[in-house]
Structure 1
Amino acid sequence: MRTQTLKLLGLERLIVVKFSKEQKCRFRSLWNKALIVKVYGRLVGFSFLHARLFSLWKPIGKINCVDLGEEFFLVCFSVKEDCEAVLRNGPWFIGENFLSIRPWEPNFHPSEANISLVAVWVRLNELPIEYYDVKALQIIRNVIGRVLRIDTHTENESWGRFTCLCIQIDIEKPLVMAVLIGRKEQPVTKKGIQKLCFSCGRIGHW
């Protein structure tokens, strides 16, 4: 770690802390099994959320919650498979309230966070087999949203009738329902989002 002193307006002094790339990787590796969550439309307490998530997700390992402020919570998993299962099997609701979930990200500041970003699994049913390619999926993802995960079967080239992508979307914007690949319209199916309003393409009306 190196420090540097800067003068501001000739009076105040600002200490700049710099970490090496290796140090950052080590610090951040501790949080690769963590999710940032927020309950939409409802204030919840730390103890209530912890108990409700444990009952809802039924993890095989332990989970710990950290209150980040601004109604955001960090949920840390002791078992990576539990974290992956939460992303894969969502979206989730506490009562009628949508549970916003995103993987932990470096330099997350709750007061500056975009609260409408959530992780959702989508299916590309009957995608032509030539597009079952990582680079092709990366191009498609730029249209649909930021890809957070690719289904394991797709990564291993164990092809089926559809491919699954976990993408980050902004629920305050209309959702993409289809993409045009060549001359063929390719439907984009959101997994488990029965509570979407298909009239406006948005999640809920809370």
Structure 2
Amino acid sequence: MWRPSTPMHMMDIENGYFLVKFQNKLDCEKVLSEGPFPALPSYLYNRKIITKIGELVGKVVKLDMNTDSRARGRFARMAVYVNLEKPLVSQILING
């Protein structure tokens, strides 16, 4: 989403707030000035729905086992096979 030059860490701290830790000050300044700031409603954070979202991008081959438990906050990690001979999906509209 933001493509920082060094790894960042994000945690959902509820009520629509997130704690984001950047390792690089310039990455932090870029995000604060340019965004975007997407928000996926909490009811969508379950294995079935996250898998369906991933399938809009490609074939889902692995989903992080902590998605349903929210052990990593409201974050979902997955591995998706993408056909590079087709145009890449740049965004997905949900509930729109």
Give me the TM-score of the superposition, normalised by structure 2. Answer: 0.50
Aligned to 2:93: 180
Kindly provide the amino acid, as one letter, of the partner of residue 152 in structure 1: M
Deviation at 1:144, TM superposition (A): 1.4
CA distance in 2, matches of 1:148, 1:161: 20
SS in 2 for 1:148: strand
Q: Give deviations 1:97-126, integer Å, cap 9, x for gaps.
A: xxxxxxxxxxxxxxxxxxxxxxxxxxxx63
Kindly provide the amino acid, as one letter, of the partner of residue 135 in structure 1: K
Alpha-carbon contact 2:63-2:78 (below 8 Å) kept: yes
Aligned residues between the structures: 59
Aligned to 1:151: 64
Alignment gaps of 5+ in structure 1 = 1-124, 184-206
| Cα 1:164/1:126, change in 2 over 3 Å | farther
Runs of 4+ in 1 over 4 A off after TM superposition: none
| Cα 1:140/1:179, change in 2 over 3 Å | same
SS in 2 for 1:135: helix
Higher Cα radius of gyration: 1
Alpha-carbon contact 2:61-2:79 (below 8 Å) kept: yes
CA distance in 1, matches of 2:40, 2:78: 12
SS in 2 for 1:180: coil
Identity of aligned residues (%): 32
Tell me if 1:168 matches 2:81.
yes
Where is the strand percentage greater, Structure 1 or Structure 2?
A: 1
Deviation at 1:172, TM superposition (A): 1.6
CA distance in 2, matches of 1:161, 1:134: 12
Aligned to 1:127: 40
SS in 1 for 2:85: coil
Kindly provide the amino acid, as one letter, of the partner of residue 92 in structure 2: V
| Cα 1:127/1:175, change in 2 over 3 Å | same
SS in 1 for 2:66: helix
Q: Which has the higher contact order (CA 8 A, sep 6+)?
A: 2
CA distance in 2, matches of 1:139, 1:161: 17
Tell me how large the CA RMSD over aligned residues is: 2.0
Alignment gaps of 5+ in structure 2 = 1-37
